[in-house]
């Protein structure tokens, strides 16, 4: 019943518009768009002719035991769909008789099976092609198809999963390379275009506008957000401005269903080119590192530490033997500047440091105990994160208490605990109540400082607590495992 009603409503609206036109009423509401408005709309035909020959289709293959015909018929683009946007393999299809079973291998040799599809674009006339790392990751064979239908087996030169950039090489010459644009000139609201192979449909053109710049969705990249229609298979294709220049690599979409919902993200081309140059030179990317765990500076933390605004990167922990430890950085420091550049938010720091050549001696400015401090640090080379160890429980000396004000029951650290945690002092949390529990403090945490003053023992902590202004929030620096972090609680009145 609902569908006919909806149909009737749509018809009546159409008739109303027609009757208004026939009666000559409210002509301004239905006048055609002015010629000036039409001239202002973009025409992408020349851009497609200019950039289209440089955009390629990429198919990947993997070696697998032979499967039955029905199972091996799964489309490559659907494999990409489930792998990229759900993070799981495509589920085994069902038949009327239940789940479809794979036939046993019976000693048959492995054969190449479709793995995924994506897009890419030609970087240089001698066959270097840029795409996303997730498009070629894990592939045993990469096939690149040009718009003129020539197909080449490609060699993976290198890929960087942290920025999702990869470079592959095909043996061809005289290829039409793209023009690289200037991302700094890109403006929100500017028209852009994408060319790619959504769902394996080659040479598909979509268009839209830049919705936002510097959108934080990753550790080492801030993305260009657009409303250009991007779907599985578009990954790795170019985002093109109205001058025919590539300004980004289409990489991600925001979706609840797996399909396009009006929000897509592209890797800025300047970052991608920087990565590609290292991949072409050495096959890998070198990144700088400090050896710190960082967090965002909240408003409460900024106020409690005397900062005029929420900026910088809060140091939660310092890795033993790292460049940060050697430079004298401490948990609780707030890094305000790196190489003279202000850190507005914590995600700025990994990008600045990551783009710094390992071995470089760099200037940093930190906020420590109410004042700024300038330091020098020698940037190390990035390596895999080390697992965090938990603090040893050991024995519990006689407990003290500050429960009435902070909601904590505490005790002294034993000598064995201090040695294992490499601490000079601190106070162990034995039990938690309000308001400390609301602030996220847990049993086993070690309190290192209260209101920016070190707490080497229970006596010092209780003395500081007695002097608190209970109408204001107070910061605590706590140690959990091998990492330290700030938290803010409001004392009970």
Continuous H helices in 334-485 = 348-354, 403-406, 415-421, 458-466
* Residue 234 annotated as lining a ligand binding site: yes
Q: Which two tokens stand for residue 73?
A: 């018929």
Q: Which two tokens stand for residue 44?
A: 């992408």
* Residue 174 annotated as lining a ligand binding site: no
* Residue 481 annotated as lining a ligand binding site: no
Helix (H, G, I), strand (E, B) or coil at 440: coil
pLDDT digits (tens, 9 = 90+) for 183-217: 999 999 999 999 998 888 888 999 999 999 988 76
* Residue 437 annotated as lining a ligand binding site: no
* Residue 134 annotated as lining a ligand binding site: yes
**Spatial distance between the Cα atoms of 106 and 141, rounded to a whole number of angstroms:** 24
List of domains in the chain? 50-91+110-169 (2.40.10.10), 180-282 (2.40.10.10), 288-381 (2.30.42.10), 399-489 (2.30.42.60)
Supply the residues annotated as catalytic.
134, 164, 235
b (16+ CB within 10 A) / e for 143-157? bbebeeeeebebebb
* Count of Cβ atoms closer than 10 Å to residue 341 Cβ: 10
If we measure between CA atoms, which residue out of 87, 107, 249, 253 comes closest to residue 183? Answer: 249
pLDDT digits (tens, 9 = 90+) for 264-320: 899 999 999 999 999 999 888 888 999 888 888 888 888 877 888 889 998 888 887
**150 in Cβ contact with 122 (< 8 Å):** no
Q: What is the pLDDT along the chain (493 residues), one digit of tens a residue?
A: 343 333 333 333 332 233 233 333 333 333 443 434 345 678 899 999 999 999 999 999 987 665 544 444 445 555 554 455 444 444 444 433 344 444 455 555 566 677 789 999 999 999 999 999 999 998 899 999 999 999 999 999 999 988 899 999 999 999 999 999 999 999 999 999 999 988 888 889 999 999 999 887 655 678 999 999 988 889 999 999 999 999 999 988 766 656 667 788 999 999 999 999 999 998 888 889 998 888 888 888 888 778 888 899 988 888 878 899 999 998 888 999 999 999 988 888 988 898 888 999 999 999 988 889 999 999 998 864 343 333 333 344 455 667 667 888 999 988 888 888 878 888 999 888 888 888 788 888 899 888 878 888 998 888 888 888 877 888 888 888 767 777 788 777 6
């Amino acid at each position: 019943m609902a569908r006919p009603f909806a149909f009737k409503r749509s018809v009546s609206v159409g008739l109303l518009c027609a009757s208004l036109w026939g009666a000559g009423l409210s002509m301004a509401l239905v006048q055609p768009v002015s010629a000036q408005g039409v001239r202002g709309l973009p025409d992408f035909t020349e851009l497609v002719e200019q950039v289209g020959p440089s955009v390629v289709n990429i198919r990947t293959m993997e070696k697998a035991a032979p499967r039955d015909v029905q199972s091996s018929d799964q489309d490559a683009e659907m494999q990409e769909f489930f792998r990229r946007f759900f993070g799981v393999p495509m589920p085994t299809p069902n038949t009327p008789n239940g789940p479809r079973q794979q036939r046993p291998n019976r000693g048959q040799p492995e054969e190449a099976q479709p793995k995924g599809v994506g897009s890419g674009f030609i970087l240089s006339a001698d066959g270097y092609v840029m795409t996303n790392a997730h498009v070629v990751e894990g592939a045993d064979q990469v096939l690149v198809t040009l718009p003129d239908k020539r197909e080449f087996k490609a060699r993976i030169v290198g890929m960087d999963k942290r920025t999702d950039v990869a470079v592959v090489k095909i043996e061809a010459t005289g290829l039409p390379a793209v023009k690289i644009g200037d991302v700094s000139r890109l403006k929100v609201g500017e028209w852009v275009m994408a060319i790619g192979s959504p769902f394996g449909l080659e040479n598909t053109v979509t268009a839209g506008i830049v919705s936002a710049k510097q959108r934080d969705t990753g550790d080492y990249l801030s993305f260009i957000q657009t409303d250009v229609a991007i779907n599985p298979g578009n990954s790795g294709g170019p985002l093109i401005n109205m001058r025919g220049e590539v300004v980004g690599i289409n990489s991600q979409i925001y979706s609840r269903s797996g399909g396009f919902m009006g929000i897509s993200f592209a890797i800025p081309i300047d970052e991608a080119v920087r990565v590609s140059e290292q991949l072409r030179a050495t096959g890998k990317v070198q990144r700088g590192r400090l050896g710190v765990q960082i967090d965002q500076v909240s408003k409460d933390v900024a106020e409690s530490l005397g900062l005029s605004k929420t900026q910088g990167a809060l140091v939660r922990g310092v890795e033993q033997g790292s460049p940060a430890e050697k430079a004298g950085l401490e948990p609780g420091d707030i890094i305000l500047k790196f190489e003279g550049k202000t850190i507005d938010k914590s995600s700025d720091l990994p990008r600045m440091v990551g783009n710094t050549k390992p071995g470089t001696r760099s200037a940093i400015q930190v906020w420590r105990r109410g004042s700024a401090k300038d330091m020098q640090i020698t940037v190390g080379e990035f390596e895999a994160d080390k697992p965090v160890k938990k603090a040893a429980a050991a024995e519990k000396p006689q407990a003290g208490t500050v429960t009435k004000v902070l909601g904590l029951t505490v005790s002294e650290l034993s000598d064995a605990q201090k040695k294992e945690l490499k601490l000079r002092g601190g106070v162990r949390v034995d039990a938690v109540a309000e308001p400390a529990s609301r602030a996220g403090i847990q049993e086993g945490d070690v309190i290192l400082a209260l209101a920016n003053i070190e707490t080497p023992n229970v006596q010092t902590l209780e003395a500081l607590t007695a002097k608190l202004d209970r109408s204001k929030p107070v910061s605590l620096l706590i140690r959990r495992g091998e990492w330290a972090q700030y938290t803010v609680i409001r004392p009970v009145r």
